Amino acid sequence: MIQPELPEIPRDAAMTTQEYAYLRLRNAVMLGALRPGTALTFRGLAGQLGLSPTPIREAVRRLSSESAIEVLGNRRLRIPEMTPGRFEELVRLRIALETHAAARAFPWLSDVAIAGLAGIDDQMDAALAARDLDGLTRLNQQFHKRLYRLNPDQAVIPLIESVWLQLGPFQRRAIEHLDAGAPDDRHKEMLAAMRARDLDSLCAALGRDVQDGSVRAGQRLLQGGTGD
């Protein structure tokens, strides 16, 4: 069985082997490098990461508890398939959690913070033009997390990342089927609302950001409207 490529992540000397295995696999799932239905093996993952099976088993156990990897028995592993009902549930969770996070971060918005977010949005434009889908996904997550982390008391990002983790493989497949025409840039709408200090418009633009583009493409995929 040919194992899919797992994007590299930074690794410092303080990171344990177990943590490295978990974070690298988690990153691959969240970025969508592993497609829905992808079959995996402990041996293949250990070989690709250059690790023994023990940290791989621990990483898979943690990711299984987060609904990111299915353990099927007889040492078989799989990235979960998406269903219409589960997709709708995850999208609704994204909107609820992320509008909450944006509202809680809103009092800490500053011109400096907005300028930093605008810089990330510019990098996203470049990644989209280059069809760098890994970079686009990574920068999109960075944009949202930087906004939400303006709240010094935030506790929601782990919950948001759990949803991203479950959506990642299917969302990446949906991005590959986006219409050729450029969609409205909801991040620029969000930035305009931030500059105007308009919380209602910010939350509305964020909701449209989640619902548009890849979500509509994903709905078409689940309805059988677009094949691989």
CA-closest candidate to residue 80, choices 28, 36, 110: 36
Q: What is the pLDDT of residue 131?
A: 87
Of 107, 118, 210, 219, the closest CA to residue 173 belongs to 219
Instruction: Determine the pLDDT at residue 100.
Output: 98
Question: 30 and 91: one domain?
Answer: no
Domain shared by 91 and 45, yes or no = no
Instruction: Tell me: do 91 and 26 sit in the same domain.
Output: no
Q: What is the pTM of this model?
A: 0.89
Please report the pLDDT score of residue 128 as a whole number.
87
192-195 contacts: CB < 8 A, separation 24 or more?
Answer: 194/109, 194/114, 194/117, 195/114
d(CA 101, CA 109): 13
Question: Do 92 and 183 reside in the same domain of the chain?
Answer: yes
| CA–CA distance, 10 with 48 (Å, rounded to integer) | 16
Whether residues 108 and 195 share a domain: the answer is: yes
Residue ranges of the chain whose pLDDT lies below 70: 1-3, 177-184, 213, 225-228
Residue 105 and residue 214 in one domain: yes
Tell me the C-alpha distance between 95 and 156, whole Å: 13
Digit-coded pLDDT (tens) for 66-91: 999 999 978 789 999 999 999 999 99
CA contacts within 13 A on the Cβ side of 186? 18
Same domain flag for 99 and 141: yes
User: Which structural domain range is residue 110 located in?
Assistant: 84-222
CB 33 within 8 A of CB 172: yes
| Residue 116 to residue 106: CA distance in whole angstroms | 15
Residues 140 and 58 in one domain: no
**CB environment 182-191: b (16+ within 10 A), e (fewer):** eeebbbebbb
Q: Environment class of residue 199 by beta-carbon count within 10 Å: exposed (0-12), middle (13-18) or buried (19+)?
A: middle
The domain that holds 116 is classified in CATH as 1.20.120.530
Tell which of 78, 93, 118 closes a domain: 78
Which structure tokens are listed for 153? 């008391």
Q: Which residues face 142 on adjacent strands?
A: none
- Residue 113 domain flag: yes
Q: Are residues 63 and 127 in the same domain?
A: no
Same domain, 68 and 163: no
Task: Please indicate, yes or no, whether residues 175 and 202 belong to a single structural domain of this protein.
Answer: yes
- The confidence score (pLDDT) of residue 178 equals 64
Q: Would you state the pLDDT for residue 173?
A: 83
Residue 208 resides in a domain? yes
Would you state the structure tokens that stand for residue 76, as one six-digit string? 């078989």
pLDDT at residue 211, rounded to an integer: 86
Domain count, the chain: 2
The pLDDT of residue 26 is: 96
Q: Is residue 195 included in any domain, yes or no?
A: yes
What's the pLDDT tens digit per position in 127-146?
Answer: 988 989 889 899 999 999 99
Q: Do 52 and 108 lie in a common domain? A: no
User: Which of 29, 48, 78 represents a domain boundary (last residue)?
Assistant: 78
Structure tokens at 46: 């250990």
105 in Cβ contact with 202 (< 8 Å) = no
